[in-house]
């Protein structure tokens, strides 16, 4: 698939020598929702800041829709909207004037109808004449989103958009992001809520210590790395796993009441039916069986732990 | 040219001045009026005319310069420092706007405010003492050049500063003393010969002298030299701003 942002061999060394990014290569596809996951200090914000022109890269190249972010910064930046991680807003301006200001800053002529649409979609229209300092934290977050959308960007960066946002609003925000995607906007979001990535993203990238350790389609990722577990509740506790079942990797719980069988989702393997037959043959009766699939969260934790 | 962006920032800055009207306009007007009451009327009546100009009138150009310098610097430095301090500068940095455009909008707004202030103080002065402007075009030129130059200086200070104290430091410790010692309240010819020479190292002397010349046709140094020095400071400030933006100094990590 065609990529809209292309990051090549990008490195960032901050003053003082700290290497925040090491040789990042990343292609972001047109129209996708990409979730960037990574522990605190991994380099997510640094990466976004470089693409948006807030931080200078030490090495490497970035193009946005074919425009180099340094040589052709005007064309590149006018395609991008950024919602920063920190709640940085003016205090005394009104909501409406702040959003109009952003549109002008990005070189677009005034368009009150668009501003109204954006404010309404973020439930800020009623607050349009309020000063920013009178808004709540969640409203300020939405204001930042409104500012980023004011100039109709083709690429939207959301740096932890749902931090400090209540559950209902978070769902509204997801809805909004899906709507943007339907309009062809590419969305890159960072989050520490893994269920958010699981819910929203088409692809997932994991950054740790300045390196991209994985970029994968969400569904493939979950298939590839997701472990499935079959839990079997026995009718009567057993002392040991019978010899006929040894070598299958069955785990007996300490109380002997359940057996668990862990298998890879990728290889729909040594049939569960087979296993259950073997249990029957061994004369082990069971009350209940259920399977669980490891969540993205488990996958993420194990990935990051491996590289620590 | 991203005209929309220039307009957006310029408006934003002007709006800020309007919101803080007392601080940006009224307080300089009041303090200048106090100078007139004290130096013009109370003390000035006992000071002889200087080159045929009453003392009260003599100090008008210097007083305007004093306000122009301090206000240009504080306006422009605050205008750029505050977004750096709160973090809202991210938006300007991420916008499709060139550094030249950033300077035009921030410095343009600060210089506009100084100009307006200068005119208001001039009008205020006219209520206290008789005024005469022999070279109005030159006066306007000096007014504009000085506003721009010192707004640029303020912009530089606003980028260099990493705390509110530093923002105050340069205006308080350098600019105000230089202005007071730069012939705002006296003709440097009144000084002993040695100090006259030393005073010529003070850049403000040239600004005040040229500006006063445009009023009364009297000058400590030749008006051409004043103009040349003003343009020189302007060029120095432009060069520093250019360097700041080439390197991203204190703006980008
Ligand atoms: N201006 C800076 N100067 C020096 N080091 C910095 C600067 N900004 C960030 N860093 C360092 O770079 C690393 C990456 O920071 P970054 O903000 O990109 O992390 P992040 O992945 O966004 O983390 P979080 O999830 O906490 O937001 C951190 O170790 C941080 O301390
Ligand atoms: Mg971050």
0.85 surpassed by complex ipTM = yes
Q: Select from B7, B16, B253 the Cβ nearest to the Cβ of A14.
A: B253
Identify all chain A residues contacting B7, using CB atoms and an 8 Å cutoff.
104
Q: pLDDT tens across A54-95, in order? A: 999 999 999 999 999 999 999 999 999 999 999 888 889 999
Ligand 1 site, residue A85, Cβ cutoff 6 A: yes
The answer to whether B76 faces chain A, any CB pair under 8 Å, is: no
What percent of chain A stands above pLDDT 90? 57
d(CA B74, CA B68): 10
A168-175 own/partner pairs: CB under 8 Å, 24+ apart: A169/A138, A169/A142, A170/A196, A172/A123, A173/A145, A174/A199, A174/A200
pLDDT for B22: 77
User: Is the per-residue pLDDT at A306 higher than 70?
Assistant: no
* Nearest Cα to Cα of residue A169 among A136, A210, A209, A129: A136
Q: pLDDT tens across A177-210, in order? A: 999 999 999 999 998 888 888 889 999 999 999 9
Q: Select from A54, A75, A108 the Cβ nearest to the Cβ of B252.
A: A54
Confidence grade of residue A244 (pLDDT, cut at 50, 70, 90): confident
Q: pLDDT tens across A93-102, in order? A: 999 999 999 9
Gyration radius of chain B's alpha carbons: 19
Q: Which residues of chain B have pLDDT under 50?
A: none
Gyration radius of chain A's alpha carbons: 25
The answer to whether B87 faces chain A, any CB pair under 8 Å, is: yes
Ligand 1 site, residue B201, Cβ cutoff 6 A: no
Task: Report the half-sphere exposure of A246 (CA within 13 A, side-chain side).
Answer: 4
Coil, strand, or helix at residue B211? helix
Q: What is the pTM of this model?
A: 0.86
Q: String of b and e for A77-116 (b: at least 16 CB within 10 Å)?
A: bbbbbbbbbeeebbeebbbbbbbbbbbbbbbbeeeeebbe
* Angle (CA) B30 B34 B36, round 5°: 115
Q: What is the mean pLDDT of chain A?
A: 89
- Domains of chain A (ranges; CATH) run 3-222 (3.40.50.300), 226-306 (3.30.70)
First to last CA, chain A: 32
pLDDT for A49: 97
What percent of chain B stands above pLDDT 90? 53
d(CA A141, CA A159): 11
User: Is the per-residue pLDDT at A19 higher than 90?
Assistant: yes
B243 C-beta neighbours (distance < 10 Å), count: 11
Nearest CA in chain B to A57: B253
Q: Which atom of ligand 1 is nearest to the CA of A160?
A: 27
pLDDT for B130: 85
What is the sign of the dihedral through the CA atoms of A104, A122, A182 and A163? Answer: positive
Ligand 1 site, residue B253, Cβ cutoff 6 A: yes
Confidence grade of residue A47 (pLDDT, cut at 50, 70, 90): very high
User: Is the per-residue pLDDT at A268 higher than 70?
Assistant: no
Ligand 1 probe mutation, A12, A16, A38, A42, most atoms within 8 A of CB: A42
pLDDT for A226: 65
List alpha helices for B95-222, DSSP H.
99-128, 136-160, 164-170, 176-180, 193-199, 203-216
User: Is the per-residue pLDDT at A256 higher than 90?
Assistant: no
Query: Residues B19, B115: contact at Cβ < 8 Å?
Result: no
Domain boundaries in chain B?
3-247
Ligand 1 site, residue A44, Cβ cutoff 6 A: yes
d(CA A93, CA B11): 12
User: Is the per-residue pLDDT at A265 higher than 70?
Assistant: no
Cα–ligand 2 centroid distance for A304 (angstroms):
16
Parallel/antiparallel/unpaired status of strands A67-68 and A80-83: unpaired
Q: Give the residue with greater pLDDT, A25 vs A278.
A: A25
For chain A, what percentages of helix, strand and coil (3-state, to nearest 5) are there?
Answer: 35, 30, 35
Q: Quick one: average pLDDT of A164-181?
A: 88
Query: Residues B244, B251: contact at Cβ < 8 Å?
Result: yes
The answer to whether A84 faces chain B, any CB pair under 8 Å, is: yes
Cα–ligand 2 centroid distance for A161 (angstroms):
11
pLDDT for A5: 98
pLDDT for A158: 96
Q: Quick one: average pLDDT of A170-176?
A: 89
pLDDT for A238: 85
Q: Quick one: average pLDDT of A209-225?
A: 85
Q: Quick one: average pLDDT of A214-223?
A: 85
Q: Which value, to the nearest 10 degrees, does the dihedral of the CA atoms of residues B196, B202, B208, B211 take?
A: 110
Q: pLDDT tens across A139-158, in order? A: 999 999 999 999 999 999 99
pLDDT for A140: 93
The encoded tokens of residue B206 equal 């040239």
């Amino acid at each position: 698939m065609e990529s809209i942002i292309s990051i090549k061999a990008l490195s960032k060394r901050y003053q003082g020598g700290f290497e925040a990014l090491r040789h990042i290569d990343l292609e972001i596809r047109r129209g996708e929702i990409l979730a960037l996951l990574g522990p605190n200090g991994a380099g997510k914000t640094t990466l976004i800041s470089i693409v948006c022109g807030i931080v200078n890269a030490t090495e490497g190249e970035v193009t946005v829709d074919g425009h180099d972010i340094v040589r052709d910064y005007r064309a590149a930046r006018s395609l991008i909207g950024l919602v920063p991680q920190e709640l940085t807003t003016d205090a005394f301006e009104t909501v409406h004037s702040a959003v109009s200001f952003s549109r002008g800053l990005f070189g677009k002529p005034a368009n009150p109808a668009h501003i109204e649409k954006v404010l309404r979609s973020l439930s800020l229209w009623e607050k349009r004449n309020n000063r920013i300092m009178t808004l709540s934290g969640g409203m300020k977050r939405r204001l930042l989103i409104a500012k980023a959308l004011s100039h109709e960007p083709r690429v939207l960066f959301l740096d932890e958009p749902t931090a400090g946002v209540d559950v209902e609003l978070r769902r509204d925000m997801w809805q909004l992001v899906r709507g943007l995607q339907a309009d062809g906007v590419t969305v890159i979001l960072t989050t520490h809520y893994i269920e958010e990535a699981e819910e929203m993203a088409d692809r997932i990238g994991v950054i740790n210590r300045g390196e991209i350790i994985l970029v994968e389609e969400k569904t493939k990722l979950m298939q590839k790395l997701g472990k499935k577990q079959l839990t079997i509740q026995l009718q009567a506790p057993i002392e040991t796993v019978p010899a006929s079942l040894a070598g299958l990797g069955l785990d007996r719980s300490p109380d002997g009441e359940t057996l668990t069988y862990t298998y890879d989702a990728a290889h729909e393997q040594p049939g569960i039916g087979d296993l259950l037959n073997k249990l029957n043959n061994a004369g082990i009766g069971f009350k209940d069986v259920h399977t669980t699939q490891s969540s993205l969260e488990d996958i993420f934790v194990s990935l990051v732990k491996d590289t620590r | 040219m991203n005209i929309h962006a220039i307009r957006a920032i310029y408006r934003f800055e002007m709006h800020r001045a309007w919101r803080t009207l007392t601080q940006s306009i009224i307080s300089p007007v009041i303090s200048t009026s106090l100078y007139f009451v004290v130096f013009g009327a109370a003390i000035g009546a006992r000071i002889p005319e200087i080159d045929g100009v009453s003392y009260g009138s003599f100090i008008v150009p210097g007083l305007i310069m004093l306000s122009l310098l301090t206000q240009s610097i504080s306006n422009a430095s605050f205008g750029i420092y505050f977004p750096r301090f709160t973090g809202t500068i991210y938006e300007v940095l991420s916008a499709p706007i060139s550094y030249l455009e950033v300077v035009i909008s921030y410095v343009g707004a600060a210089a506009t405010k100084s100009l307006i202030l200068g005119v208001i103080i001039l009008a205020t002065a006219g209520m206290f003492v008789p005024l005469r402007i022999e070279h109005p075009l030159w006066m306007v030129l000096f007014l504009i050049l000085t506003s721009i130059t010192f707004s640029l200086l303020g912009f530089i200070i606003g980028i260099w500063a990493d705390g509110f104290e530093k923002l105050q430091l340069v205006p308080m410790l350098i600019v105000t003393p230089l202005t007071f010692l730069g012939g705002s309240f006296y003709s440097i010819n009144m000084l002993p010969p040695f100090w006259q020479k030393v005073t010529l190292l003070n850049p403000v002397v040239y600004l005040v002298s040229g500006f006063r010349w445009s009023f009364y046709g009297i000058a400590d140094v030749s008006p051409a030299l004043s103009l040349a020095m003003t343009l020189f400071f302007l060029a120095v400030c432009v060069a520093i701003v250019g360097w700041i933006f080439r390197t991203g100094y204190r703006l980008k990590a």
